[in-house]
């Protein structure tokens, strides 16, 4: 039981969890995105009313969260690719530091992209 609790507090577990949750959230968003794009096929007035609705503050907040999830999923995927295809330092201590560095970079890139999008909205 003690090992299980320690593994769940490890940064790599949280990276796994964020990557999984962001992937599921993006998958659930995709049909809504296609529905919104489909409004353009039903005429300019229908699309324009949807775009006016999307100017609400709550929708803007959801957009920022969506972009943050997309950035987290992308950065997590790049982190995994780097772990797969790049050489990891020889000993275990250096490998652990390498993994933590990649985790920190992925988190930093995600937050930076989210903040840039938020600044673009203001």
The pLDDT profile of the chain, 122 residues, written as one tens digit per residue, is 456 666 777 888 889 999 999 999 999 999 988 988 888 888 888 888 888 998 999 999 999 999 999 999 999 999 999 888 887 766 667 778 888 889 999 999 999 999 999 998 77
pTM across the whole model: 0.79
Domains and CATH numbers, the chain: 2-121 (1.20.1300.10)
Return d(Cα 65, Cα 34) in angstroms, integer: 19
Coil/strand/helix, residue 88: coil
Give the alpha-carbon dihedral of 41, 46, 48, 54, to 10 degrees.
-100
Q: What length does the chain have?
A: 122
């Amino acid at each position: 039981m003690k090992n299980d609790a320690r593994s769940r507090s490890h940064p790599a577990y949280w990276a796994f969890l964020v990557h999984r949750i962001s992937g599921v959230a993006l998958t659930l968003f995709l049909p809504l995105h296609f529905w919104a794009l489909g409004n353009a096929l039903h005429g300019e007035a229908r699309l324009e009313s949807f775009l006016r609705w999307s100017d609400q503050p709550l929708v803007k907040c959801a957009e920022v969260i969506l972009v943050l999830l997309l950035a987290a999923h992308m950065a997590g995927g790049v982190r995994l690719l780097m772990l797969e295809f790049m050489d990891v330092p020889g000993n275990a201590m250096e490998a652990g530091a390498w993994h933590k560095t990649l985790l920190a970079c992925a988190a930093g890139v995600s937050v930076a992209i989210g903040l840039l999008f938020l600044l673009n909205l203001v």
